[in-house]
A and B are shown apart, each in its own frame.
Chain A
Amino acid sequence: MNYYERPTPLQEQANIEAIQHFVEHLNQFKANCDALRSIECNLSTTVNDALKSVLLSPGRVIQTDDGTQWQHDLDLSSVTSVCHRRTAAGLEFAVVECLPLKSGEIKEVLNNGHSVRDVLRAFTHDQRQVLNLWKEDVKAQVREHLEEKYPHQDMGIVVESFEIKMARAISETRAVTQSQSRGIRI
C-alpha cells in the first residue's frame, strides 16, 4: 500500500474510532513525554537544586528495598526523586522510585553514580527507552484492535499514523535535549 495516498473514508473512520479507544494510552503517553521533556529542559537547574539540597539541612530519609539509606533532595515526579548518600568514595546520587502498589510500596534505585548530572542523563535515557517500549506495545494493540474490528481491511495506514504520532512525541523530547546540549534554542 502507498502510504502517501489519502486514507479511504473507512480508514479515516477507523482512525477516529481507534483514537477514541486508545485515548487513555495516548493521554498518559503525551503527559509522560511532556514530563520527561521538562526534566531534560531543566537539567542544569535540577543539578544545581540537588547540589544545594546536599549543603542544606538533611531531607527525609528513604530506605530502598536493598537496605540502602538515601537523603531525599528533590522530586522528579510523583514517584521518582533525586536522593544522595555519603559513601567512603564521596557523595553518591540516585534517582529513587517509590512505587505505591496495592500490595505495598516498592522503593528502588533506578540510576546512581557520583555525578548528579550523569545520573539524571542516564535516567532520562532509560525513560525514553520505556517510552519506545510503550509505543511499540500500543502499535501492536492498535493493529490487533483494527484487525478484529475491520477484518480483511488494510488498516496499515492507521497503525502507521499512531506510530508516527507517538514517535514524534518521543523525538521532540530528544530534540530539546540535543539542542540544549549544544546551546541552541529552538
Chain B
Amino acid sequence: METIPKTEESQATKATERLAYSIQEAADMLGVNYFSVYRLIQRNKLKVCRALRGKLLVPRTELLKLLGTE
C-alpha cells in the first residue's frame, strides 16, 4: 500500500483546513453555482470577510455550519 510522505500529508491537511475559501471554492464545497453562493451571502446565510483588495472570503467555520458538519 502506498503511503503519503509526511511532508506531503501535512501540506494536504493544511490545504483542506484553510481558514477561509474563495467563492469558487465555497461553491465547489457546497455543490452549488456561484450565484447561489452570492445569494446566500446577500441573505446573510453565509457570513464572509474581505481580503485586503476587497475580495470576498468565506470562513471555513461558516461553510461547515452550512454543511451541518460543525
Contact = CB atoms under 8 A, between A and B. Distances in A.
Interface of A: 24-25, 28-29, 32, 79, 97, 99-104, 106, 108, 110, 126-127, 129-130, 133-134, 136-137, 139-141, 143-144, 147
Contacts of B56: 137, 140
Q: Which of A32, A130, A136 lies at the interface centre, i.e. has the most chain B CB atoms within 10 A of its CB? A: A130
Given A28-B33, A137-B38, A147 B53 contact: yes
Nearest to B42: A130
Contact of A141 (B36, B39, B41, B55): B55
A101 B55 contact: no
Interface size class of B (residues with CB under 8 A): 20 to 34
Contacts of B31: 100-102
14 contacts: A25-B24, A28-B35, A32-B35, A99-B40, A100-B31, A100-B32, A101-B67, A102-B29, A103-B68, A108-B43, A133-B41, A139-B54, A140-B50, A144-B53
A25 B30 CA distance: 17
Interface of B: 22-24, 29-36, 38-43, 45, 50-51, 53-56, 66-69
B66 A103 contact: yes
Contacts of A126: 42
